[in-house]
Structure 1
Amino acid sequence: MRNSSESVADLPQGQNAYDRLLEDIRLGVLLPGARLREVELAARLGISRTPVREALRRLEADGLVEHLPRQGASLRRLGYAEVMELYEMRAVLEGTAARLAARAASDLELHELSEINAAMTASDVPTEVARLNRQFHTSLINAAKNRYLQSAIGAMARTLLILGQSTLYDPARSTSAAQEHDLLLRALHARDGERAEELMRAHIEAAHRIRLRQLRAAGLMDGIEPNGGNNVAI
């Protein structure tokens, strides 16, 4: 057990290490199955092993890291069935968020969503488009004003990070996603919760189709049966 002075000193570095490792996972720098050695990570991040260890514990609690016998910590691998289940649940949860936001969002929040989507439409930088897309979805979820829904979506979103880069790195998908956001915004401004939920579900399902297409193109889904019997790193 660490003493109190060590804990206080390492808390900021531990948070920093956690955030930086999350970003590496999001960007695909760390791939499913990657070994996560404390010494190597500490050297790369320029910090001691203690905050790295703390960050790995948090990532394990998030369900992103697993410890394997005689191998140590590694980034989890997701199987076909789990990816299908995650996107199905995302459609349900974010669809619900859109329905609630149609009722609960303030005019200011809806204006902010419109501005974010306009910036997303205007950008041709993949990293910026992906960032704005995350901001759009986060702002909409916050506008739903349901803390339990926010918590559930947050836990699911962390697991989805294992899939790596956003589907919006595909220019065609970034264009269609912004158009889907625009349709959703119209339903939100009209305070039509049922239509907003329907459009959000369709939006998530479109992202799901692109994700599966990308995984197949990368050769990561060969031989996987729809029953999820095989557990393949994707």
Structure 2
Amino acid sequence: MDDGLNEVGDSSLADETYRSLLADILSARLAGGSVVQQRRLATKHAVSRSPMRHALGRLEGEGLLVRNEKGVLSVRVISLKDYLDSLTMRMLLEPTAAALASPHVSRLELDPLTRMLDEIEADPEPDPEVVWAFDDALHNYIASESRNPFMATTIGEMRRYTTIFERQLPVVRAKPGVREHRAILLALAANDAEAARRAMADHLEVVRQGVLANY
């Protein structure tokens, strides 16, 4: 039976399919403008049409998939304006999130992030996926530790758009943001709210200038 998700197993499979498709979109494996074919994707991910349909519907509801005038579903193309608008929202929220998070973090929690950054800095050619994983981990951690779920949700949504755009740039730095990320980690380790705020603001401005220079 393929007309609904009536069991816990089916619902879980739909969630897994959603996460897998989201990862494909964020990593540009499903690039902006790619036509989405439900049957082909269901075969590729070894799931039935029902969980695939629900996963695609969820992504469409979140604005990552769009339909044209003929009803054809495709991955949303993130324009430069979309990117800059999303980054502006991040620049408004993330410095405050970093300041709010600073009293709550501990060195024990920051140690894994610091080790990840150390390894990236020491590697002359770090794996881009490792760099992106670190970026996600740090920014998601800060958003979570802001203890403001509305702020964290908005930051997460805006980061999706900026990530999609940045990962599709033809030219990117091999080690983007190492110095700025280091400053953020040091400020958080010192539980210095204002230093964390400044470090995050500086980081996002460097990101903005870097993208504009490479676009």
Instruction: Pick the TM interval, shorter chain.
Output: 0.7 to 0.9
Displacement of 1:145: 2.4
- Secondary structure (helix, strand or coil) at the match of 2:78 reads coil
Displacement of 1:170: 3.6
Return the alpha-carbon distance in structure 2 between the equivalents of residues 163 and 177 of structure 1: 16
2:98–2:197 CA contact under 8 A, matched in 1: yes
Q: 1:16 to 1:50 in 2, by over 3 A?
A: same
1:62 matched to 2:66? no
- Secondary structure (helix, strand or coil) at the match of 2:188 reads helix
1:130–1:166 CA contact under 8 A, matched in 2: no
Among the aligned pairs, what percent are the same residue? 29
Q: Residue in 1 aligned with 2:144?
A: 142
Q: 1:111 to 1:72 in 2, by over 3 A?
A: same
1:160 matched to 2:162? yes
Deviations 1:160-205 (A, max 9, x none): 34326287x8444x1x512211122222233321221111111112
1:83 matched to 2:75? no
1:117–1:136 CA contact under 8 A, matched in 2: no
Alignment of 1:1-234 (within 5 A): 2=3, 5=6, 7-123=7-123, 124-163=126-165, 165=167, 170-172=172-174, 174=175, 177-214=177-214, 216=215
Return the alpha-carbon distance in structure 2 between the equivalents of residues 189 and 164 of structure 1: 28
TM-score with structure 2 setting the length: 0.85
Return the alpha-carbon distance in structure 2 between the equivalents of residues 135 and 83 of structure 1: 21
TM-score with structure 1 setting the length: 0.79
Q: 1:59 to 1:38 in 2, by over 3 A?
A: same
Aligned residue type for 1:208: R
Q: 1:16 to 1:110 in 2, by over 3 A?
A: closer
Q: Which runs of 5+ in 2 are unaligned?
A: none
Return the alpha-carbon distance in structure 2 between the equivalents of residues 9 and 200 of structure 1: 41
